[in-house]
Amino acid sequence: MGREQQQVSYTVEQLVSVNPYNPDIVSDLENYVNEQVSSQTYSLEANLCLLRLYQFEPGRMSIPIVVQILIKALMAMPASDFSLCLFLIPEQVQMEEQFKTLIVLSHYLETARFRQFWDEAAKSRSILEVVPGFEQAIQAYAIHVLSLTYQKVPRPVLAEAINIEGLSLDKFIEHHVANSGWALEKSHGRSQLIVLPRNEFNHPELKKHTADGVPFEHVTRVFPILS
């Protein structure tokens, strides 16, 4: 089965690279979107290709397929895939309720308003549940954002960002302590602190100056151009 899926994936990617403006591949690309959903894989290039073909033949546009593409793009954050896909969707289509909802969710994620995001997502479960793995992908994005901001994140802040509480949160934290380099620490106010791995954003002293990373031979090549 795995070899068959790889063959389908390879064939679709090949179609996209060889003739991306061929309307005959619309059905193949739509099937590939469904495959991405069921297998929890992702191909931005193929999805953008399908959206471009829909622009040429708007009568063939499948709204459920476009919804799935946008949800998969949301799951790819912090990449800008959602904006890239949205740019190819006609404005009148964007005005439909389910697309307006996805645009609002995107805005909440981009501005790290996680409480509002999860509240809105709960109201829109019927739209989002068609794509498995959505919650886990957004939780991973939320952790990414927290890791850029915090050296030590309070437990309530983490709970709000990933929408998990109680014993489920305990298990979530235990998993990341064992597998992601997290550590636990007690704060003065009894609230648990989660110590996140060091990076150049939450520990600026780790960030190297740009000049330090430019080899001397690259600099010498610029001199003749400037002269």
The 10s digit of each residue's pLDDT in 80-108 is 999 999 999 999 999 999 999 999 999 99
Among residues 206, 146, 207, which one has the least CA distance to residue 180?
146
Cα–Cα distance, 2 to 125 (Å, whole number): 30
Cα–Cα distance, 142 to 147 (Å, whole number): 9
- Confirm if 93 and 99 have CB atoms less than 8 A apart: yes
Peptide bond into 64 cis (omega under 30): no
Structure token pair of residue 110? 């981009």
Q: What is the pLDDT of residue 189?
A: 66
Cα–Cα distance, 178 to 175 (Å, whole number): 5
The parts of the chain modelled with pLDDT lower than 50 are 1-9, 210-211, 218-227
- Confirm if 16 and 49 have CB atoms less than 8 A apart: yes
Structure token pair of residue 14? 């090949």
Q: What is the pLDDT of residue 23?
A: 92
- Confirm if 37 and 132 have CB atoms less than 8 A apart: yes
Q: What is the pLDDT of residue 217?
A: 52
152: three-class secondary structure by DSSP: strand
51: three-class secondary structure by DSSP: helix
Q: What is the pLDDT of residue 203?
A: 84
Cα–Cα distance, 42 to 72 (Å, whole number): 7
Helix axes 2-18, 44-56, angle to 10 degrees: 50
Look up the pTM and report it: 0.84
